[in-house]
Structures are given as C-alpha cells and as structure tokens.
Chains A and B, each alone.
Chain A
Amino acid sequence: MSDSGNVISVRGLKKSYGSTQAVAGIDISIASGEIFALLGPNGAGKTTTVEILEGFRTRDSGQVSVLGIDPSIKGAPARIWRNRIGIVLQSTSDAGDLSVSETVAHFAKYYSNPRNVDEVVQSVGLSEKSGELIRTLSGGQRRRLDVALGIIGSPELLFLDEPTTGFDPEARRAFWALIKSLRDSGTTIVLTTHYLDEAEALADRVAVINHGQIVEVSTPALLGGRATSLATVSWLSESGPKSERTDNPTAVIRKLSEIYKEEIPELTVKRASLEDIYLEMIGGVHEAE
C-alpha cells in the first residue's frame, strides 16, 4: 500500500460542475482500520468526494489513491480493485421479489473471497427474515440488507453513506455495534452521516467539510476545541433557573455545594455537544440540512 499504510490518500482534489466548484482542493488521509466520518451540510462536496473515492465520478485534478489504486481505473484491474471494496449507497430500493438470503448469496458470487452467507445475514440481524422476500422488509431491515451486500465480499474498505437514516433508536444501536465489530476485525470504514451522535459514537476521526473544503479533521472529542470549550453549569436557585459559563465547572459546583447544604436543585453541567461545535463550524443552523 502506498503512502505509509494509508488506505485512502487524497491530495488537492478538485471537481467542478459547470461553474460550481463542488470540491475545492481537499486533502484526506485515512489509516488502515479506522472509522473515518465525513460530516458536512448538503451541497458541501461530501457526496462528490466520496463518489470520486468510490470510482463513480471523475475528478478534475488532484491525486487520489484508494487501497493503493487510482479509483478512475477501468477494466479488469478495476474489478480486482472493487473486489476489495464494499459500498453501501444512500438509498437503494430494489424490486423486492427475491428473498434476503437469495440476494446475499447472489452477490457473494461476484467476489473472489466471499464471507459465509448465513453468517453475514446473521451479523446484520436478519436471520429471522432470511427466507422472506425483500419487499416485506421494513426500511431499517432493508438498510441492514444493504450493509450485508456491502460486506459479503469481505472488503478491506467499506463506504457507508447515511447508513442509519430511518432507523429506530434500538436498530441504530444494533447497527453501530455491527459497524464497530467490522472495524475491530480490521475493516477500514468511511462513513458519511447527518447524525452527529452517530459520528461521535462510531468515528475514530471526523472531517468537517464545507464549501468544498475541509474545515477540520480531528477526533470527535477534540473537534473544534471542544475539550477545552467552556462548560455551562445550571441549577435552580430560589429566584429561578440560573446558569454560569466557566472553564472550571468543578469550582463552581464546590461553591454551590457550600450554599446548598444538601442537593443542588436541578444541577447540570453541560459541555458543547459535537452538534453545537459542528453547527458553529459550518456557519450556523440555517446552512445545515
């Protein structure tokens, strides 16, 4: 693999559609075995970037290497490259006249080294639906089938585009556990998502992209100076709710605990959520979504 063990390395990537510059010079390095999340509002260049990495789109300029290969590769070498990659697209709604296991077993035939069909179906939690036609599945179950089809070829690298849209909270938790287990077995994962809590729960590193450029790359905990940002201590005083912004919340609580001998009423300490930081970075709520 080129670029010192990086699974993906992008330098100076640019892409325009007509006069609109969708990607305006992006650099990304993604290491083997990490979950890397790309965050950004619609139209920020997220999808274009990922689709260039997936080999679905051409680029205007820049260097791109995915598993040591330029994704614009064609023909037989492209097949060997795709054999090592799994892609879960944003929305697919195949005509559902095949059963879950039939579909997964069929896709297994495309790869040199497929995983066991039953194991894959089980790992996405669809064992009970294995013999059912796809059209009887719920939205969340279909999405898990999409993931099953993405991982059946035992990919070294998996792209996940908005994987949990339409999931109920329980299904999302189960899904996150699945993604983490894939990472733990050595799969590198590139995730694009609108859900900040998802990025926080899963990603080893996140990149925030806006106006076709990377705003920052960091771990979820450190993004945007989040770890050192002010905390807000709130409580209910006799005269009503009060709050104090501080870089030393412990001191504030110590002071409060002297005033209130027993429990401090409705005490909370809140740090900026990833979402707060993110919205600030991309320039306010109005641009999100």
Chain B
Amino acid sequence: MKQNKVPSALTIGIARGGLEIKQFLRQRESVVYTLAFPIMLLGIFGSVFTNELTDGVTFSQYFVAGMIASGLVNTGFQQLAIMIPVERDFGTLKRLRGTPMPASSYFIGKVIVVFATMVIQVLLLLVAGILFFGVNLPTDPAKWLTFTWLILLGSAASTSLGIAFSVIPKSGRGASAVVSPVVIILQFFSGVFFVFTDLPAWMQQVAAIFPLKWMTQGMRSVFLPDSFAAREVAGNWETGRTFVIILAWFIAGLFISIRTFKWEQDK
C-alpha cells in the first residue's frame, strides 16, 4: 500500500518560491520592467530635478524615498496583478489545482518571489540613491525600525492587493494594460514624481485613501531629516496613522483575495 503522506503546504510553498524566482530571473522582460525601469526613472528624474526643497533636502532625495515606496507596489501589486491573470489564461493555475498542491503553497510561493524581488529592488534603489543622489542612510535605530515594518507590512499589503486585483483583468494579455495605469496614476497622486504638498488638494485627498501615499510618506520619515516633517500635510510624519492605514489595506486585500480568487478564467 502506498504511503499517503503528502508533503506539507510549507515545503511545497518554499519549492514554488524557488521555482518562481528562477522563472522571474529568466524572463528578461520582467527583470527589465520590474527591476531596471525604476532605476532608470530614478536616473532621469534625479538628474532633471536637482533643486533643493529645503535646507539640505534635494528633490532627488525626496524622489528616492518615493521610489523605494513604489518598489513595494511594483514588486507586489503590479507584478502579481499582471502575472496571475497570465497564469490563469495559460492554464497554469488549473493544472496546479489538479495536483495535491494546496492553494496556500501557491500563495507562499508568490510571497517568496515578491519578497525576493522587493529586496533586490530596494537595495538597487538605495545603492543608486546613496551613490548618485546624496541619500544618507539613517543612523537612528528607531528609523530603521520604521523602515523594517514599512518594508514588511508594505509588501504584505501590496502582495495581498495584487492577488485581490488579479481577478480584474479579463485576460493575461490585457493585464498589464489594466494594472500599469493604476500604478502610474497612483504614483503621480501619491507624491512620488512631485512633491506631495505641491499637488492640488483634491489629488492629495484621493491619494490619502490609497496605501502608496502612506508608504512614500513613511519612507520620507526614514530617509529625510526630521526637520522636513514640518513640510508634510499634517506637519509631522503621522507614523501611527501610516501603520494603521497600510495594515487596513493588507487585511482588506487578504479578505478580498480569499473570497474572490479564481483558478480559471470565466468563459
């Protein structure tokens, strides 16, 4: 008689994570789009807008903080909301569903690939920021603590929202046309490409609903001097509120993902 002890969800999930990273690195388009494109943007914006915002803070530094926050959205939300519809269209998901692999392993694999690409992206942006745009690493341990929870909670929210959003594109081919504009508009609204407080009030209010605005503000609290907090909307970094809002989005994304995830495209 055969043994019926199937491998644990975690074991399979870790194997899936390794496989997904391998696939990611072999897809030149995804490497360029997810990893190199933000660096190119950083180079362009950082070189064009060199003006100082206040004493000792250049727009480049402001922009680097925003791009690191965007990195959480690119590697989680954007990557998954494009990749999952493609896998659904190709029948990859249906095939997996026909195996003893549990759904949780699939999501563990996604979390691993998002986390790996996020770490690579944030490191690349940080190194570029430090080398070329005068970004200084914080020395205050409290700021590193903020940085750590921002990265973890931010990419968790981004991942859960990416999975939730993956039901929206009607096909794999059209996914990036549906997802990318959402990300780019959010970046404009959330103070990545422009100084947030220079944006029209309505834009600020719209952005304040979504998590990217809070991620960028959080990253500024890490990488800009505390004196700059006076130039934020509330006149301070609003760290507590940032935590609560990103956490709320994470939970909402998780809830929607569990309720709406589809293994097959509706015919």
Interface residues of chain A, those whose CB is within 8 Å of chain B, are 54-56, 79-80, 82-85, 87, 89, 91-95, 97-98, 102, 106-107, 109-113, 133, 149, 153-154
Contact = CB atoms under 8 A, between A and B. Distances in A.
Contacts of B16: 106
28 contacts: A54-B98, A56-B94, A56-B264, A79-B6, A79-B100, A80-B6, A82-B100, A83-B6, A83-B100, A87-B95, A89-B98, A91-B91, A92-B90, A92-B91, A92-B92, A92-B94, A94-B87, A94-B90, A94-B92, A94-B95, A95-B86, A98-B23, A106-B16, A109-B12, A110-B6, A110-B12, A112-B4, A153-B100
A112 B98 contact: no
Interface in B220-267: 264
A68 B42 CA distance: 60
Contacts of A91: 91
A86 to B, nearest CB: 8
B6 A92 contact: no
A89 B102 contact: no
A133 to B, nearest CB: 8
Contacts of B199: none
B4 A97 contact: no
Interface residues on B, range: 20 to 34
Nearest to B2: A113
A112 B7 contact: yes
Contacts of B6: 79-80, 83, 110-112
B41 interface: no
A110 B98 contact: no
Contacts of A98: 19, 22-23, 26
B86 to A, nearest CB: 7
Contacts of B3: 112-113
B12 to A, nearest CB: 6
Nearest to A93: B90
A164 B264 CA distance: 23
B29 to A, nearest CB: 11
B23 A97 contact: yes
Q: Helix, strand, loop or mixed for chain A's interface?
A: loop
B27 A95 contact: yes
B92 A97 contact: no
Please give me the 3 A-B residue pairs with the lowest Cβ-Cβ distance, nearest first: A87-B98, A92-B91, A97-B26
Interface string B1-26: 01111110001100110010011001
B236 to A, nearest CB: 46
Nearest to B92: A94
A82 B98 contact: yes
Given A56-B97, A106-B19, A112 B5 contact: yes
B139 interface: no
Nearest to A81: B100
A101 to B, nearest CB: 13
Interface string B97-127: 1111110000000000000000000000000
Given A56-B98, A107-B99, 20 more contacts: A54-B98, A79-B6, A80-B4, A80-B6, A85-B98, A87-B98, A92-B90, A92-B95, A93-B91, A94-B90, A102-B19, A102-B22, A109-B11, A110-B7, A110-B100, A111-B7, A112-B3, A112-B5, A112-B100, A113-B2
A79 B97 CA distance: 10
Contacts of B101: 110
A189 B23 CA distance: 32
Contact of B99 (A92, A110, A154): A110
Q: Please indicate which of the listed interface residues B27, B90, B98 has the most CB atoms of chain A within 10 Å of its own CB.
A: B98
Contacts of B15: 106, 109
A15 to B, nearest CB: 15
A154 B4 CA distance: 12
